[in-house]
């Protein structure tokens, strides 16, 4: 990927080193999940932990860099959808699907992503914000077409995707459940008609979800 594969640290080039660490980390996180040991990554990359930490001051920073490296793919997915899919609802649907896959790149990734949403300092926020922006793009289009509830915001959709991805870890053996979860979310944001072009959505005129906490008298 980075092209520094064969001779590790041939030049004592900082950039090369960084790239190499990223490659190794990608591999490691893929194998062990995101909570693997930082030390192990440094060791595998053949650098001292200090070097690792110089490039990426903490796990989140490393994760963020890793995700950024994968951004390209997501961007091209987005482009492809925008190019190929006329129906804004289907477009949103496909984008969320792509996002869901992206977010499952490493085992346990949803966790730090969710955490990042609550912090302002995490380097992962930036990534998240990007995702949310694009999601908003698709969402607005779908809402304009009357295919998505108006009370939904991009951030909520992103969280839904995240939490669905999180839940999927529990149902690895049960693809049906995974599908059901996706379907719930899907039919959750979509208006009844589902269809592009259909306009009426009685409920969605408001910006508030139909059943708030207080709405259901317990």
Partner DNA sequence: GATGAATGAGTTTTCATTCAT
Partner DNA sequence: TATGAATGAAAACTCATTCAT
CA separation (Å) from 180 to 12, 159, 166, 184?
A: 51, 17, 14, 6
Position of tokens 């009685």? Answer: 202
Residue closer to a copy of itself, measured from CB, 29 or 189: 189
Position of tokens 């259901």? Answer: 216
Answer with the entry of DNA, a copy of itself, none that 144 interacts with (C-beta below 5 to 8 A by kind): none
Answer with the entry of DNA, a copy of itself, none that 170 interacts with (C-beta below 5 to 8 A by kind): a copy of itself
The span from the CA of 193 to the CA of 143, in Å, is: 12
The answer to whether residue 182 forms part of the interface with a copy of itself (CB under 8 A) is: yes
Name which of 75, 82, 7, 78 is nearest 46 in CA terms: 7
What is the x/- site pattern for a copy of itself, positions 110-149, by CB under 8 A? ----xx-xx------------------------------x
The span from the CA of 83 to the CA of 70, in Å, is: 20
CB of 23 to a copy of itself, least distance (A): 26
Answer with the entry of a copy of itself, DNA, none that 150 interacts with (C-beta below 5 to 8 A by kind): none
The answer to whether residue 209 forms part of the interface with a copy of itself (CB under 8 A) is: yes
Residue closer to a copy of itself, measured from CB, 115 or 126: 115
Which residues have CB under 8 Å from 214's CB, separation 6+? Answer: none
Helix, strand or coil for residue 213? coil
The span from the CA of 15 to the CA of 56, in Å, is: 13
Pick the stretch among 14-22, 41-49, 65-73, 184-192 that binds a copy of itself (CB under 8 A): 184-192
Answer with the entry of a copy of itself, DNA, none that 11 interacts with (C-beta below 5 to 8 A by kind): DNA
For residue 190, the cross-strand partners are 148
Position of tokens 């490493």? Answer: 106
Answer with the entry of a copy of itself, DNA, none that 122 interacts with (C-beta below 5 to 8 A by kind): none
What is the x/- site pattern for a copy of itself, positions 84-113, by CB under 8 A? ------x--xx--xx---------------
């Amino acid at each position: 990927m980075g092209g520094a594969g064969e001779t590790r640290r041939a030049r004592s080039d900082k950039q090369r080193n960084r790239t190499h660490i990223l490659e190794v980390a990608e591999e490691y996180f893929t194998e062990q999940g995101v909570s693997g040991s930082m030390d192990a990554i440094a060791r595998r990359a053949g650098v001292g932990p200090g070097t690792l930490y110089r490039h990426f001051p903490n796990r989140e920073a490393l994760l963020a860099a890793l995700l950024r490296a994968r951004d390209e793919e997501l961007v091209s997915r987005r482009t492809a959808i925008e190019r190929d899919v006329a129906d804004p609802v289907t477009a949103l649907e496909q984008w969320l699907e792509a996002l869901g896959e992206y977010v499952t790149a490493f085992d346990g990734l949803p966790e730090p992503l969710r955490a990042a949403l609550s912090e302002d300092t995490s380097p992962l926020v930036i990534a998240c914000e990007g995702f949310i922006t694009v999601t908003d793009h698709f969402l607005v289009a779908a809402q304009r077409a009357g295919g998505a509830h108006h009370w939904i915001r991009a951030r909520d959709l992103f969280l839904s995707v995240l939490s669905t991805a999180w839940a999927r870890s529990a149902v690895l053996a049960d693809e049906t459940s995974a599908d059901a979860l996706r379907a719930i979310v899907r039919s959750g944001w979509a208006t009844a008609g589902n269809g592009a072009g259909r306009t009426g959505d009685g409920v969605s005129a408001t910006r508030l979800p139909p059943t708030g906490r207080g709405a259901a008298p317990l």
